[in-house]
Amino acid sequence: MADPVLKWAGGKRQLLDELKARFPTTDYTHFHEPFFGGGALFFDLEPEDGTINDTNPRLVNFYKQVRDNPTDLIELLDTEFRDPDADPNPDLEYHDTNHKGKAIDEFYYQARALFNKRPYGEDFDALREAALLLYLNRTCYNGLYRENNSGGFNVPIGSYTNPDWVQADRITTASRILEDTTIHNDDFEYILDAATAGDLVYFDPPYKPMSATAYFTDYSQDGFDQTDQQRLLDVASELDDRGVHVILSNSGVMYDLYDDAGFHVEVEGATRAINSDGTNRDEVDEIIATTIAPTDQRGPTQQGLTDYTN
Ligand SMILES: C[S@@+](CC[C@H](N)C(=O)[O-])C[C@H]1O[C@@H](n2cnc3c(N)ncnc32)[C@H](O)[C@@H]1O
């Protein structure tokens, strides 16, 4: 039951018990997570193999580095991302000025500019890119990944005292868990080639907004629109036809679509706030839809008592 390494918008840590209660009573073969993000369910399950996927190339590069180069990644984070002028006082707010009166946040904004300039051509430094992503993720406002229309990461600095962006233990653990996992950087439809009968797939797409003011599709410059939602339903139905177990979370407005398609759908009642731009908090009903009949589901376990820290 490991923790995610990155904080990610739409992270599913609060929904873990409800998701696991829908798992089949029979064993499944491989576990797949085609909309990975922070991968809260994957890390909690610690599956031995299977696949993960995300369309975000920076995120995918990050997990490949975590899997393949954990020691180098930790070392780089521990050495390079420290402002030599920073005040050693651990109580100093990260966004404050240090003992020399220098604004610490300059360092953050330089790192952010570097991250956005980083070329994807032959000069691409995969390890440094991964380190920058974790550094920014752990020090940015609310730990939210958001890109502007040109694909630039545009979240301002967060307000932290002595933030830990090295996350050495989590990287080491995640690396072990990812060891035999295949990591894709594709559209979610790759799953039609990857999953076979007896596997379990968890889909956690960007949610369809409940209201015009909800910005659930802001994970990257490519939104996830109604056509994508319909494609997802078609893919989930095809997997079901092939004997693959499917569990899916989505916003409450998708209830009828999945219900009409014959999925077992339940509203999770609990509301979840996503803060996309620092000012806008929206609450949403969530549904969990699954192809697994209620009589074949594991049901609630004592794992509901687990306390997750961040
Ligand atoms: C709701 S988040 C997943 C959150 C994750 N379950 C967690 O616990 O952190 C959705 C993810 O889907 C990715 N995504 C968006 N469009 C996609 C597509 N067409 N195919 C695959 N992934 C996509 C986004 O980059 C984002 O990371």
What is 114-159 written as a DSSP string? HHHH--SSTT--HHHHHHHHHHHHHHBGGG---B-TTS-B-PPBP-
* Whether 296 and 194 share a structural domain: yes
Per-residue confidence at 283, pLDDT binned at 50, 70, 90? low
288 within some domain: yes
* Whether 49 and 194 share a structural domain: yes
158 within some domain: yes
Determine the distance separating the centroid of ligand 1 and the alpha carbon of 203, expressed in angstroms.
Answer: 9
Determine which residue's CA is closest to atom 17 belonging to ligand 1.
Answer: 55
297 within some domain: yes
- Rounded mean pLDDT of 285-302? 91
* Whether 103 and 82 share a structural domain: yes
Q: CB of 296 within 8 A of CB of 25?
A: yes
| 279 φ/ψ angles, rounded to the nearest 5 degrees | -125, -20
CATH number of residue 89's parent domain: 1.10.1020.10
33 CA: nearest ligand 1 atom = 6
pLDDT tens profile 102-135: 777 888 888 898 888 866 556 778 999 999 999 9
pLDDT tens profile 21-78: 999 999 999 999 999 999 999 999 999 999 999 999 999 999 999 999 999 999 999 9
Determine the distance separating the centroid of ligand 1 and the alpha carbon of 33, expressed in angstroms.
Answer: 9
Ligand 1 site residues (CB inside 6 A) read: 8, 10-12, 34-35, 37-40, 53-56, 187-188, 204-206, 219-220, 224, 228
* Whether 143 and 206 share a structural domain: no
Determine the distance separating the centroid of ligand 1 and the alpha carbon of 90, expressed in angstroms.
Answer: 35
Determine which residue's CA is closest to atom 7 belonging to ligand 1.
Answer: 11
* Whether 138 and 32 share a structural domain: no
Cα gap 91→262, rounded to integer Å: 55
7 within some domain: no
Ligand 1: which of 7, 36, 185, 190 to mutate, judged by most atoms within 8 Å of the beta carbon?
36
Amino acid letter, residue 170: R
Determine the distance separating the centroid of ligand 1 and the alpha carbon of 160, expressed in angstroms.
Answer: 27
Distances (CA, A) of 279 to 9, 73, 80, 241, 244: 15, 33, 32, 43, 40
* Whether 91 and 201 share a structural domain: no
* Whether 48 and 193 share a structural domain: yes
CATH number of residue 43's parent domain: 3.40.50.150
| Total number of domains constituting the chain | 2
Q: CB of 199 within 8 A of CB of 31?
A: yes
Q: Which of 166, 200, 234 is the last residue of a domain?
A: 166
pLDDT tens profile 151-165: 789 999 998 888 889
**Structural domain for 246, as ranges:** 13-55+186-305
Cα gap 186→201, rounded to integer Å: 16
* Whether 119 and 83 share a structural domain: yes
Determine the distance separating the centroid of ligand 1 and the alpha carbon of 116, expressed in angstroms.
Answer: 20
Angle at 97 between CA 94 and CA 100, to 5 degrees: 130
Name the 3-class secondary structure at 17: helix
124 within some domain: yes
pTM equals 0.88
Determine the distance separating the centroid of ligand 1 and the alpha carbon of 92, expressed in angstroms.
Answer: 35
Alpha-carbon Rg for the chain, nearest whole angstrom, is 20
Output the six-digit token pair for 257: 């679509």
* Whether 278 and 205 share a structural domain: yes
For all residues of the chain together, what is the average pLDDT?
Answer: 85
Amino acid letter, residue 107: F
